[in-house]
């Protein structure tokens, strides 16, 4: 009786199978007719296993450095804790326009030199004067909350 499953290494993310670098077991026909010709996977060899282990080790080092950097950013933002913005307001203390992610990114960049992405900021709707809590997700397990104080602009 012949072997029914083949061991492959994925080269790209494939729905229902896994991410690049994952080792999978699939039937010979699925591997030979679809995964290998479409370059979603390659046959697993000893050299590819060694190469994969080296890449995973390098990725672990990079992730550790990035986590340490984000912890430093978190500490910097927590020590500052409060940022202030001035905006033109109406008599009812409503802001003309609104405060956006870009405004938050600019004020943090000006005061600390830290550059954030729009996707890291979970922005509430800010249309009046007051103090607001802004949650920032640096990476999936490192979060920080900053306070944003919106003040009326004096002419």
pLDDT digits (tens, 9 = 90+) for 60-117: 999 999 999 999 989 998 888 889 989 888 888 888 888 889 999 999 999 888 888 9
116-138 burial: b if 16+ Cβ within 10 Å, else e: beeebbebeebeebeebebebeb
CATH of domain 71-152: 3.10.430.100
| Number of other CB atoms surrounding residue 109 within 10 Å | 12
pLDDT in the model for residue 81: 80
What is the CATH topology of the domain spanning 5-44? Ribosomal Protein L9; domain 1 (3.40.5)
pLDDT digits (tens, 9 = 90+) for 29-63: 999 999 999 999 999 999 988 988 898 899 999 99
Rounded to 5°, angle at Cα 69 from 66 and 70: 85
Tell me whether the CATH fold assigned to 5-44 matches the one assigned to 71-152: no
Q: Break the chain into its structural domains and give their ranges.
A: 5-44, 71-152
pTM value is 0.66
């Amino acid at each position: 009786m012949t072997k029914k499953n083949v061991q492959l290494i994925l080269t790209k993310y494939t729905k229902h199978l896994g991410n690049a670098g994952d080792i999978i077991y699939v039937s010979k026909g699925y591997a030979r007719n679809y995964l290998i010709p479409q370059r979603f996977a390659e046959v697993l060899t000893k050299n590819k296993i060694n190469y994969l282990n080296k890449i995973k080790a390098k990725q672990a080092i990079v992730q550790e450095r990035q986590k340490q950097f984000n912890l430093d950013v978190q500490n910097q933002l927590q020590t500052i804790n409060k940022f202030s913005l001035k905006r033109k307001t109406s008599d009812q203390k409503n802001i003309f326009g609104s405060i956006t992610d870009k405004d938050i990114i600019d004020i943090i960049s000006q005061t600390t030199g830290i550059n954030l992405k729009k996707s890291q900021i979970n922005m509430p709707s800010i249309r009046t004067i007051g103090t607001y809590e802004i949650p920032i997700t640096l990476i999936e397990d490192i979060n920080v909350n900053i306070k944003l104080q919106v003040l009326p602009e004096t002419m």
